Amino acid sequence: MSNIDRSAELNRLIGNSLDELRRIYTTEQSIRIFIVIASIYYLNEIEQSNEKKVQWDRDFQDNPIVEWLYARMKQLEYSDKKLKGIFTGLVDSFLHFSNDSTNRALEILIKNLNHYQFVNLNEIVQLINLLASKFVSGKGYVGTPEAITNLALNLVRLEHIQFIADYCSGISSVYLEMVHRLNVSGKENLTYYYGEEMNVSAYLISKLLMFVKSIPNFNIVNKNVLDHVSSGSTRQTFDFIFSDAPFNATWNQENAWNDPRFEFGIPPKSSADWAFYQNVLYHLNENGKAIVVGTKGTLVRSTEVHIRKSIIDKDLIEAIITMPENLYSQTNISTELIVFNKRKPRERCGKILFIDASKYSCKINRYQHAITEEGLLKIVASYWEGNEEERFCRLIDVEKIKSYNYSLNPKEYLEFDILKNSFQHTVKLGEIAEIRRGVQLSKEEYEELKEAATHYFLNIKDIESGRISYDEESKITYKKQDWLVKFAIQPLDILITSKGSVIKFAIVEKPFNESFISGNLSIIRVNPKRYDAYVLYEFLQSDTGRRMIDGIQTGTTIKLINPSKLMQLEIPLFTMEFMNEVGEQLKKSKQEYEEIIKETEEKYVMQKRILLERMMIKNKL
């Protein structure tokens, strides 16, 4: 039977057994029970004494299954200190709720294992691996995708690593894959591994996998990575560190005071990303390399620019890699890899390598994508060889990054910068227009301002196909007098959505209705002495304009356009005489187009009414 057929058989065994357990337990509890029983089965199989095997089988037949399982777990934990607390820790909180159904389900599971014809011990280990993978892909826990693990390990020389750490280590899947690769290549590299993981179940499974695979020289700790570290504490340092920390996690900033890890600055309480990364940098040795996983917001948020500035000025970042979306099974969030290196190659000092591999995506199941083999090979080649390719990979001087206010968004340097350079002359949008975001109202404020309404209140839904729809059900009055200047629309204002998956535009034309814009929109108010509003409107909507705006978008699940970023957008500059001429033609063409659309819609409604009346069908139009 082929390896593919054997894997299918193992998955069938898992599916049937979990179905039985899920009649009583949650999916996570079922997986934890199965991992424990499969591990005990494995340890029974490697027991040297046949006499003991017979005795265990007799005990299994003569005692209630839960009692037998508890006794065996305790016996194993007592006999080997490396197993202490692992089995009981995984199932103790729920297994003792036993009844006839529980005993029957566990008995079926054990019989399934006894009846399955395992080829060898390695196949039992493969079963345990598959169950661990089921755990990390389940609800409530997010494991590192195989695509990220695979790429990260291709960006380091594994044979040179002696000390490795993983902060937020999960089930230590990255280190286990590293050990597997070294074994396959025949390189008996003896490494020391250190992991920190806050999730108790993941921590216990991680230790169990190390034991089952007979991996020595490790220390895995159950703790929060961001717990306070005192200045007098002993610091462990490592050759290589990997960290896939929770995205945008909140944290207690008070932990940072007098903590030696945060020399580059204290991140905001709303996002601990750069707290996790500074922990990694703190534990890197003087020649160390680290790879961390982040989001687009990690690279561009203004609240953390002081931290990025300090780290970039120290020349500690070697590469930023934009990955495809949907790599994680439970979120469609896009991810970025940051490569830190305390000993960058001489030719890369004062530079950062930017790679955009977002387009190299392939679907592996209904919910999850991976990076294509072509994309993986291109990233690895570009990283090690330093080859540059338009819109994919470029080495950027730190001085240029400073001019972009320490933004680390690859699209700004690979897309935005190239497009900007295609224009003969440019000007920053903030120099020819005033940009202001709309007013953000709470539900209570909105309801209060609906009384004695004076203005329409425009939102994303009111912008469609370049036109503004005025909703009679959405009207408010102003809370302060300055709203009439700050948030009220005027003729020739360009409206742009400031959040959402699709960027929408509209230009305010006469006649118009007095309106305020919500915080989901922004006003671009063009100075008519510096630029033509219709020229700008059409440029922003063009393919080039949209690609440039895409390069400055931030946000993870919801895309955001920050007015301060929009002000830095460089647009093509022409003479006023030329823009006024072209702008007038664009205005005329737009109005003619909209007239044709209006006439066509009216004609359609009329014909539809006549045809429905002929069929004796009443239709409310």
428/299 Cα distance (integer angstroms)? 22
Give domain limits for the chain.
3-136, 146-421, 430-574, 577-621
The predicted structure's pLDDT at residue 403: 87
The predicted structure's pLDDT at residue 288: 96
Residue 388: pLDDT above 80?
A: yes
Angle subtended at Cα 219 by Cα 198 and Cα 175, rounded to the nearest 5 degrees: 80
- Predicted confidence band at 533 (pLDDT cuts at 50, 70, 90)? very high
* Burial class of residue 422 in the structure, from the number of CB atoms within 10 Å of its CB (0-12 exposed, 13-18 middle, 19+ buried): exposed
The predicted structure's pLDDT at residue 48: 54
Residues 6+ apart with CB under 8 A from 290: 240, 241, 242, 243, 280, 281, 284, 339, 340, 341
150/177 Cα distance (integer angstroms)? 8
Residue 248: pLDDT above 60?
A: yes
Convert the pLDDT of each residue in 564-616 to its tens digit.
889 988 889 999 999 999 989 988 888 888 888 888 988 988 888 888 888 87
Lowest mean per-residue pLDDT among 244-258, 348-362, 550-564: 550-564
Tally of CB atoms within 10 A around 117 = 6
Same CATH fold, 430-574 and 146-421? no
Convert the pLDDT of each residue in 11-37 to its tens digit.
899 999 899 888 888 888 999 999 999
Residue 52: pLDDT above 70?
A: no
Architecture per CATH, domain 430-574, reads as Alpha-Beta Complex (3.90)
Convert the pLDDT of each residue in 70-123 to its tens digit.
888 998 999 899 999 999 999 988 876 657 788 888 888 888 888 888 888 889
Q: Which residues pair with 218 in a beta bridge?
A: 193
Inter-residue contact 135 to 35 (CB < 8 Å): yes
For range 42-58, the mean pLDDT: 66
For range 481-496, the mean pLDDT: 94
- The SS3 of residue 426 is strand
- The 3-state secondary structure of 255-289 reads HHCCCCCCCCCCCCCCCCHHHHHHHHHHHEEEEEE
Is beta strand 463-464 parallel, antiparallel or unpaired with respect to 238-243? unpaired
Residues 6+ apart with CB under 8 A from 267: 251, 253, 273, 274, 275, 303, 304, 307
Residue 331: pLDDT above 80?
A: no
Q: Which residues pair with 354 in a beta bridge?
A: 320, 394
Distances (CA, A) of 221 to 90, 131, 224: 16, 22, 9
Residue 206: pLDDT above 90?
A: yes
The predicted structure's pLDDT at residue 591: 83
> In CATH, which superfamily holds the domain spanning 146-421?
Vaccinia Virus protein VP39 (3.40.50.150)
Q: Residue 12: which H helix or E strand, with range?
A: helix 3-21
DSSP string computed for 216-256: -SEEEEES-TTS---TTSPPP-EEEEEE-PPTT----GGGG
- Predicted confidence band at 154 (pLDDT cuts at 50, 70, 90)? very high
Residue 62: pLDDT above 70?
A: no
Backbone angles phi, psi at 8, to 5 degrees: -65, -40
Q: Residue 323: which H helix or E strand, with range?
A: strand 317-325
Convert the pLDDT of each residue in 336-354 to its tens digit.
999 999 999 999 999 999 9
The pairs formed by 374-377 with CB atoms below 8 angstroms and a separation of 24 or more are 375/324, 376/147, 376/150, 376/151, 376/154
The predicted structure's pLDDT at residue 50: 56
- The SS3 of residue 75 is helix
Inter-residue contact 458 to 495 (CB < 8 Å): yes
- Tell me: cis bond preceding 216? Omega within 30 of 0 counts: no
- Length in residues, the chain: 621
The predicted structure's pLDDT at residue 168: 96
Computed over every residue of the chain, the mean pLDDT equals 89
Inter-residue contact 247 to 296 (CB < 8 Å): no
Residue 621: pLDDT above 70?
A: no
DSSP string computed for 90-153: HHHHHHT---HHHHHHHHHHHHHHHHS--SSHHHHHHHHHHHHHHHHTSTT--PPPHHHHHHHH
* Token pair belonging to 582: 């072209």
Convert the pLDDT of each residue in 401-458 to its tens digit.
998 889 999 988 888 777 777 788 889 999 999 999 999 999 999 999 998 899 999 9
For range 533-542, the mean pLDDT: 92
Cα 516 versus chain centre, distance = 34
Q: What percent of the chain has pLDDT over 70?
A: 94
412/547 Cα distance (integer angstroms)? 10
Tally of CB atoms within 10 A around 304 = 23
Residues 6+ apart with CB under 8 A from 607: none
Residue with tokens 């929408």: 504
The predicted structure's pLDDT at residue 386: 87
For range 38-62, the mean pLDDT: 70
The predicted structure's pLDDT at residue 70: 86
Residue with tokens 């290589």: 240
